[in-house]
């Protein structure tokens, strides 16, 4: 395998139009063929977006279809043209395409619709495998107002090429993290207006994601002025921003609700003793709706059409009656954000295991989502569904996407009834872990748009067509199906796993938990992240142990089931990996083979993350037993088992090293930076060696009655 330098994935992401997409030479029945006799209309004085659509299509045909078409300023025969031509009932972003033997006319309801129509032409030709388009008239309209995503190249990193990539992927709204005025998620000065205006030129809206504190109670005499100075001021400074996204954990306030601490979670400790009540960011206090009403008022006083969204993510653990009482008091011009899968529980042999954070393994919404959606409908509230259907979640936190596309398809299908009902008006398709080009975006264009005219494929047909397009063989769709089946009902979704081995994969350390020390310090290892990251190692817990919750069974009950199911998952996943490896020689050389090699590297990296998760569970159980074992022979037998785990984990790391060298996106996540690249994997090998040395020392301690002082190492 070749070696790719760090961050080289960004250069690959910039290549929005892929070469070598022409794999068919003749059109099928009902298709027209573009050839050198065609041109693209690009009239003088046309709007910038129309000129952009013409120029981008020209570049696409040149790069991807090896077809050079001229840009004409005058209308001729055999021509592709773009125009704004709204119908009697226009729909934002919608378009109509009329294709005949000598004309392709894209009519957008607005300029954004023109850009969407241009991308649809490219998508059709990519799936057709040549410069072929279906004859007839087709109208397409987005089902939701916004499809929201973070940058895929870095926190608040929005160069023009990233904006164009986001547009081509089908998203229509970007997100900027706001820690201060012109202070982004990395706490760096940033020209927000420049990003917002450039995004608008690319047909994208911009949402501001709030990290600014309120720090006032709504009843305080100066509350209105204080909230206006923050939230009203945002829209005075950034008048073209589409809206504001609020979330409880970033909007703590001095609540008077006695069910809360009334303080931020960092302050809810007295003399080292934590207050057992939740802090206001994690509980919908009776005064929270009043605070939100005042924030909405402050925003709408400056920009009445701005959308204000509040995420109830932090309340998902609470009973439905508490949450519904909160929703009943919210202002009607506030949109709520509901996470699709949070707290969806599996119960096996009497053991309850809920989804503690985002996971693709849940394809039907949980009780939190359904109860909030029902309450929102009853209260006349719109909501945004947090679906993560950009293709990534916390099942493995440092990969470009999860190639379980049949699961993404099921999730999109499950969201559709809420969209059709009219309550779900927008989608949050990825948080700060961003996105990467993958078939989930093709599925999004199928499910999240409605089409009149023409024939749309089923999701299964589309996945087979994508497999042919990207890998030259339909069998890759069956690999995705096998991975989807493997993950279903078997992936662990506990906090200790999603904030531990699944977050950083095979780079996760194995700490020998017997504390042999002269300094009496904790054995938790600060994970070595590069400085300047938004979260870095603050969201990586290296001292593996069960993180218990009132809504789940304890770890000592969960782990035997986790081990059984993770063992099955790894077996099924690796069988699909092996099948994919056998397909590689059949893939056409060049683009398809390269795609196949990176997909195999991705599959093997994910398998390595699963093996690390399985191994760390055995490791934790052995550590617990060891510390309760006084008999030296039995303790040494346990230590022998632990050494075997370290050896297995060492092989796991060594096997995956070529994968991260092939694909620089593996092992990287925007808010943490690189956490499982070659450097971190080598760090892991050194850490495993240190654990072995500690085990040797503990063997010495076990024999202390028969030996003199030996010192440490």
505-543 pLDDT tens trace:
999 999 999 998 878 888 999 999 999 999 999 999 999
What is the number of residues in the chain?
713
Domain boundary among 88, 107, 139: 139
The first and second tokens of residue 596, run together, are 């196949």
| Cα–Cα distance list, 580 to 455, 586, 595, 657 (Å) | 31, 10, 12, 19
Phi-psi region of 350 (alpha: psi -120 to 50; beta: other; left: phi over 0): left
DSSP-H helix ranges across 228-366: 233-237, 288-302, 320-328
What is d(CA 44, CA 72) in angstroms, rounded to the nearest whole number? Answer: 9
> What H or E segment, with its residue span, contains residue 44?
none
> By C-alpha distance, which of 484, 526, 527, 532 is closest to 504?
527
* Positions of E strands within 265-411: 269-270, 273-274, 307-311, 334-339, 345-348, 351-354, 383-386
Q: Report yes or no on whether pTM surpasses 0.85.
A: yes
Q: Is there a single domain that holds both residue 425 and residue 539? A: no
Q: Is there a single domain that holds both residue 511 and residue 608? A: yes
Q: Is there a single domain that holds both residue 370 and residue 468? A: yes
Q: Judge whether 428 and 384 are in contact, CB under 8 Å.
A: yes
Position 266 scores a pLDDT of 85
Position 465 scores a pLDDT of 97
* Positions of E strands within 596-702: 668-669, 673-674
Q: Is there a single domain that holds both residue 194 and residue 302? A: yes
Position 713 scores a pLDDT of 44
Q: Judge whether 314 and 248 are in contact, CB under 8 Å.
A: yes
The first and second tokens of residue 143, run together, are 């089902």
The residues pairing with 338 across neighbouring beta strands, listed in sequence order, are 385
Q: CATH no. for residue 45?
A: 3.30.379.10
Q: Is there a single domain that holds both residue 556 and residue 581? A: yes
Q: Is there a single domain that holds both residue 627 and residue 590? A: yes
Position 706 scores a pLDDT of 57
Whether 173 is in a domain gets the answer yes
Q: What is the pLDDT of residues 386-396, one digit of tens each?
A: 999 999 999 99
The first and second tokens of residue 461, run together, are 């047909």
**DSSP per residue, 159-204:** -HHHHHHHHHHT--EEEEEESBTTB-TTS-B--HHHHHHHHHHTT-
Whether 379 is in a domain gets the answer yes
Domain boundary among 117, 139, 161: 139
CB neighbours (10 Å) of residue 276? 7
Interior angle at CA 676, CA 522 and CA 470, nearest 5: 155
Whether 167 is in a domain gets the answer yes
Whether 497 is in a domain gets the answer no
Q: Is there a single domain that holds both residue 433 and residue 516? A: no
Whether 246 is in a domain gets the answer yes
Q: CATH no. for residue 689?
A: 1.20.1050
Position 437 scores a pLDDT of 98
CB neighbours (10 Å) of residue 318? 19
What is d(CA 109, CA 139) in angstroms, rounded to the nearest whole number? Answer: 10
Q: Is there a single domain that holds both residue 478 and residue 544? A: no
What is d(CA 262, CA 131) in angstroms, rounded to the nearest whole number? Answer: 63
Whether 628 is in a domain gets the answer yes
Q: Is there a single domain that holds both residue 696 and residue 664? A: yes
Domain count within the chain = 3
Q: Is there a single domain that holds both residue 402 and residue 454? A: yes
Q: Is there a single domain that holds both residue 331 and residue 456? A: yes
Q: Is there a single domain that holds both residue 555 and residue 599? A: yes
Whether 198 is in a domain gets the answer yes
Domain boundary among 104, 139, 174: 139
| Residues with pLDDT less than 70, the chain | 1-2, 706-713
Q: CATH no. for residue 199?
A: 3.20.20
Whether 531 is in a domain gets the answer yes
Residue 314's domain comprises 146-487
312: phi then psi, degrees, rounded to nearest 5: -95, 15
CB neighbours (10 Å) of residue 45? 7
């Amino acid at each position: 395998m070749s070696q790719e330098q760090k961050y080289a994935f960004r250069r690959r992401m910039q290549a929005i139009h892929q070469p070598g997409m022409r794999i068919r030479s003749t059109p099928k029945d009902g298709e027209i063929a573009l050839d050198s006799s065609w041109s693209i209309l690009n009239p003088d004085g046309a709007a910038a977006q129309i000129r952009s659509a013409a120029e981008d299509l020209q570049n696409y045909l040149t790069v991807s279809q090896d077809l050079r078409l001229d840009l004409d300023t005058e209308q001729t025969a055999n021509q592709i043209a773009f125009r704004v031509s709204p119908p009697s009932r226009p729909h934002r972003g919608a378009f109509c395409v009329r294709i005949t033997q000598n004309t392709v006319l894209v009519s957008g309801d607005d300029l954004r619709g023109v850009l969407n129509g241009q991308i649809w032409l490219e998508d059709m030709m990519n799936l057709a495998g040549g410069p072929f388009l279906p004859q007839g008239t087709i109208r397409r309209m987005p089902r939701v107002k916004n499809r929201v995503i973070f940058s895929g190249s870095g926190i608040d990193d929005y160069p023009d090429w990233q904006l164009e990539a986001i547009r081509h992927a089908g998203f229509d709204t970007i997100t900027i993290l706001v820690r201060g005025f012109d202070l982004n998620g990395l706490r760096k000065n940033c020209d927000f207006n420049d990003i917002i205006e450039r995004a608008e030129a690319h047909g994208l809206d911009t949402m501001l994601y709030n990290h600014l504190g309120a720090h006032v109670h709504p009843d305080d005499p100066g509350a209105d002025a204080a909230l206006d100075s923050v939230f009203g001021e945002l829209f005075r400074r950034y008048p073209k921003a589409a809206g504001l996204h609020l979330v409880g954990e970033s909007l703590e306030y001095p609540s008077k609700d006695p069910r809360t601490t009334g303080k931020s979670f960092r302050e809810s400790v007295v003399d080292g003793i934590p207050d057992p009540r939740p802090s206001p960011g994690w509980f919908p206090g009776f005064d929270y709706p009043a605070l939100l009403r005042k924030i909405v008022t402050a925003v709408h006083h400056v920009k009445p059409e701005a959308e204000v969204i509040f995420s109830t993510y932090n309340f998902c653990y609470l009973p439905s009656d508490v949450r519904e009482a909160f929703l009943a008091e919210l202002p009607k011009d506030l949109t709520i954000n509901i996470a699709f899968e949070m707290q969806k529980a599996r119960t096996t042999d009497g053991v309850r295991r809920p989804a503690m954070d985002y996971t693709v393994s849940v394809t039907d919404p949980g009780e939190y989502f359904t109860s909030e959606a029902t309450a929102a409908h009853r209260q006349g509230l719109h909501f945004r569904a947090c679906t993560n259907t950009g293709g990534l979640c916390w099942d493995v936190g440092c990969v470009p996407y999860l190639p379980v596309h049949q699961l993404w398809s099921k999730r999109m299908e499950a969201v559709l009834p809420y969209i059709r009902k009219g309550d779900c008006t927008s989608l949050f398709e990825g948080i700060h872990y961003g996105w990467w080009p993958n078939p989930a975006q093709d599925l999004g264009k199928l499910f999240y748009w409605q089409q009149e005219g023409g024939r749309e494929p089923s999701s299964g047909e589309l996945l087979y067509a994508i497999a042919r397009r990207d890998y030259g063989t339909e069998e890759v769709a069956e690999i995705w199906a096998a991975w989807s089946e493997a993950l279903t009902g078997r992936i662990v979704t506990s906090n200790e796993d999603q904030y531990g081995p699944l977050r950083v994969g095979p780079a996760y350390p194995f700490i020998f938990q017997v504390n042999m020390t002269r300094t009496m310090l904790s054995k938790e290892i600060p994970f070595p992240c590069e400085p300047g990251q938004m979260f870095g190692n603050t969201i990586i817990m290296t001292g593996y142990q069960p993180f218990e919750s009132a809504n789940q069974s304890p770890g000592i009950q969960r782990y035997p089931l986790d081990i059984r199911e993770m063992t099955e998952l790894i077996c099924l996943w690796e069988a699909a990996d092996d099948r994919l490896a056998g397909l590689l020689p059949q893939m056409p050389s060049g683009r398809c083979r390269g795609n196949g090699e990176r997909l195999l590297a991705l599959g093997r990296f994910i398998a390595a993350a699963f093996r690390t998760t399985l191994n760390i569970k055995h490791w934790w159980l052995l550590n617990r037993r060891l510390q309760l074992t006084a008999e030296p022979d039995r303790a040494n037998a346990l230590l022998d088992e632990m050494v075997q785990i370290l050896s297995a984990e060492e092989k796991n790391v060594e096997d995956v090293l070529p994968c991260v060298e092939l694909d620089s996106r593996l092992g990287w996540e925007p808010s943490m930076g690189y956490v499982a690249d070659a450097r971190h994997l080598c760090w892991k090998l050194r850490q495993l060696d240190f654990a072995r040395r500690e085990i040797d020392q503990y063997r010495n301690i076990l024999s202390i009655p028969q030996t003199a002082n030996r010192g440490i190492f």
